[in-house]
Amino acid sequence: MIVRAKAPLRISFCGGGTDVSPYPEERGGVVLSATVDKYAYASLRPRPDEEIHITSLDYDLTRSYPAGKRLSADGELDLVKGVLNHFQFEAGQALPCGCDIFLHSDAPPGSGLGSSSTMVTTLCGVVAEWLRVPLTPYEIAELTYKVERIDLGIAGGRQDQYAATFGGFNFMEFHADHTVVNPLRLRPDTRNELEYALLLCYTGATRLSAHIVENQTRSYRAGNAEVVASLDRMKALTLEMKALLLRDRIREFGERLHLAWEAKKHLDSGISTAQIDALYGIARREGAVGGKILGAGGGGFLLVQAPFERKHRVARALEAEGGTIVPFAFEERGLQTWVTQE
């Protein structure tokens, strides 16, 4: 028997940063995002002994640990250790035996598509399926947040965990004591037109998003007026962009995407780089309506929206500058788990 799980990566259009504590608890955060057909995968195969063997293709690592013992976070495969520790010691779900766990993702860590949080979501799903622990989507998302942000202390927000678990286009609201995921019922024409207008460009650079998030959080806690105003501006733009999507106004959506990027850059000096500025400037000169770097910033994927008659010129110019255009499509499904026989 092999238990498998996969969860989709996401594109965050606007609001990222307002989901990072303590902003949502104090002012309420909102995020508009959509999942795409890039995934984090996990396979789990029970073993006849008490060993846990973990292989990560993304990090080119294979490690072995004893089942039934708390695993220490030491910088290697900590996300897996956090999930296993939760089920064994906090949820009281003793592993029936050892297991082999194999992990890989369609995007590298630090790419801005939420790959780390999506991998934790996938891990929670595959272990819960193996142990037959019934969890609702909200419980999976909150568990993923707890493991990553609280147990392991990795700085970041809440949007990635909910996007990966629920899938699809969502307007998410983050409050002090609860989160609400509002699926957007877009017309198929709207979804197709937006997908056709967007380009996903890999900059070739990855980054540790936690450092940028930590700087942003320190600035917000210190009452930095520019950071507070930028977060408030992004929240207002997120509401506008949701309304524009629901009314099929795609070009205006792209124009707000540009404004959102301008606001996001004021959160921390590390969000943009000379390379990102150069790529985005080229895209704009070739006719792009708007765009932004995905995730916390500093590298990863650049999202660009362009009119159909200019899209090919934008793509060609970005590739000439060293970017890599990555095809994608929107994905409506969230976390999926299944069992197969060898």
* Average pLDDT of the residues in 182-193: 96
pLDDT > 70? residue 110: yes
Contacts of residue 150, Cβ cutoff 8 Å, sequence gap at least 6 = none
DSSP lists the bridge partners of residue 46 as: 99
Distance CA 260, CA 248 (A): 19
Q: Which amino acid, one-letter code, is at 36?
A: V
pLDDT > 70? residue 208: no
Q: If you ran DSSP here, which 8-state letter would residue 147 be given?
A: I
Distances from the Cα of 11 to the Cαs of 33, 37, 148, in angstroms?
6, 11, 20
Which two three-digit tokens encode residue 336? 């999926």
pLDDT in tens, 18-67: 999 999 999 999 999 999 999 999 999 999 999 999 999 988 999 999 99
pLDDT > 80? residue 109: no
pLDDT in tens, 279-314: 999 999 999 999 999 987 778 899 999 999 999 999
- Active site annotation includes 160: yes
Burial 28-42 (b: 16+ CB within 10 A, else e): ebbbbbbbbebbbbb
Least confident of 85-94, 103-112, 243-252: 103-112
Least confident of 103-112, 120-129, 146-155: 103-112
Distances from the Cα of 236 to the Cαs of 11, 29, 229, 337, in angstroms?
19, 10, 11, 36
User: Which residue in 19, 78, 106, 160 is the catalytic one?
Assistant: 160
pLDDT band at residue 197, thresholds of 50, 70 and 90? very high
DSSP lists the bridge partners of residue 36 as: 330
Contacts of residue 260, Cβ cutoff 8 Å, sequence gap at least 6 = 13, 14, 234, 237, 238, 241, 290, 292
